[in-house]
Amino acid sequence: MRTTYRMRAGRFLGILAAGLIILGVAAILWALGLPGVAVSVFVTLGGLVTVAGLWILARPPIVAKLRDSGIEVRGVRTPWTDVTEVGRVETTHGEAIVLRTKQPDHPILLPVSWLAPGHAATMETTLRDRLNAAHGYTIWDGTAPDDNDRAE
């Protein structure tokens, strides 16, 4: 099963705003009677930036892809068996979900501010479930094990 988490779209409103501002500048240049070449350059540039902003708002960049075999963050794939722990840390850019790996100097950080509101808790739970499944852990339900269920 594959789960994809995307950045929150609100982070990219500035791109759309920049495109609309450039189109506004084109309108002012046209109203002032400047040459058509200058106006067409601003209209083209503003149109391209506006379309790009709308595209990014419709399909924000991917933060992480969770697969059965591992996790992919910013193009780097890490197998679940290499991940040792999931937790939260405070960074200079705010709170982040951290995946600690077998290589102590290479944790994987996923800033919470990148995710859509409410997705951080869901993502953290999903990460823990995938990590537990990869390492063969189950969540204890508070009951005593059966006589057949022996520690390995």
Q: Residue 28 belongs to what domain range? A: 7-58
Query: Do 11 and 41 reside in the same domain of the chain?
Result: yes
Q: Residue 141 pLDDT more than 90?
A: no
- Count of structural domains, the chain: 2
**Residue 13 falls within a domain, yes or no?**
yes
Residues of the chain with pLDDT > 70: what percent?
90
pTM (two decimals)? 0.70
Please indicate, yes or no, if residue 148 is contained in any of the structural domains.
Answer: no
Q: Which one, of 61, 84, 60, 59, lies nearest residue 71 by Cα?
A: 84
The SS3 call for residue 26 is helix
Residue 142, domain member (yes or no):
no
**pLDDT confidence band for 3 (50 / 70 / 90):** confident
86: confidence class by pLDDT, cuts 50, 70, 90: confident
**Residue pair 61/6 in contact by the 8 Å Cβ criterion:** yes
Asked if the model's pLDDT at residue 120 lies above 70, the reply is yes
